[in-house]
Amino acid sequence: MSKSKLDKFAELGAFPNAYQNFSYAQPALVGKDGAPAQLQGAWGEAHFGNARPITLELACGRAEYTVGLARRFPERNFIGVDIKGNRIWFGARQALDEGLDNAAFLRTDITLLDCFFGPGEVAEIWITFPDPYLKKSKARKRLTAPRFLNLYRQLAGPGVVVHLKTDERRLHDWSLETVQEFGAELQSAEADIDAFKREHGAYPVPELEIPTYYERLHRDLGKAITYLRFCLP
């Protein structure tokens, strides 16, 4: 029998690998069983118990990418971030079931990330199949908009790399133009990663091998999966 949203919310609050913020006006994290959590600048020591590089997956949904990355790269730490607790529950539950101690989950609005991470604490950022907000009036909500790029630059150390994987070509093209205007160093821009793999025998980076549920659906519909990788100035 599938769990209800309320069941998932209750379980998420008892997970040792999940942290939640319930207020936009007064941001603060709680962890397992509602215990206050002071993690800004201390994720490595306070949660992971090591100083390994931290990768964020933003708007992670069910966190399939966070879990997939944690499986493939046990020498790195990963944090899936999303505002929807019932979505994050899936990834957090799976990570616990598989004993993936290098995966954690954060429920919060992405605009508040600087409240929960210290300067230079993040080494890498993945944005996988985000809401494209295609209406021109919603452009500032796109996760590659300049206000978000400035936010990422606050959280990240020197040379931080940002990855965007999407099936929405209009978001890909807009993001490509936006990050170049921002002064980012473009490292890869592929309009069709599957075509790239057919030509070169491999994806631009091995992380692209990890499929998500929606990615499979989009491929079945014949949509191309696009990819951007850039380094913030």
Is residue 131 part of the annotated active site? The answer reads: yes
Pick from 184, 139, 152, 180: nearest CA to 58: 152
Please give the distance of CA 106 from its chain centroid, rounded to a whole number.
10
Contact 37, 31 (CB under 8 A): yes
Q: ∠ at Cα 220 (215, 224), nearest 5°?
A: 60
Which residue among 109, 131, 192, 194 is the active-site one?
131
To which residue do tokens 């996760």 refer?
A: 143
Contact 13, 94 (CB under 8 A): no
**Which strands make up the sheet holding 226-231, listed edge to edge?**
36-37, 29-30, 18-21, 103-107, 77-82, 54-58, 122-128, 156-166, 226-231, 185-190
Contact 109, 24 (CB under 8 A): yes
User: Which residues, 6 or more positions from 14, have their beta carbon under 8 angstroms from its beta carbon?
Assistant: 32, 33
Q: Tell me the catalytic residues.
A: 131
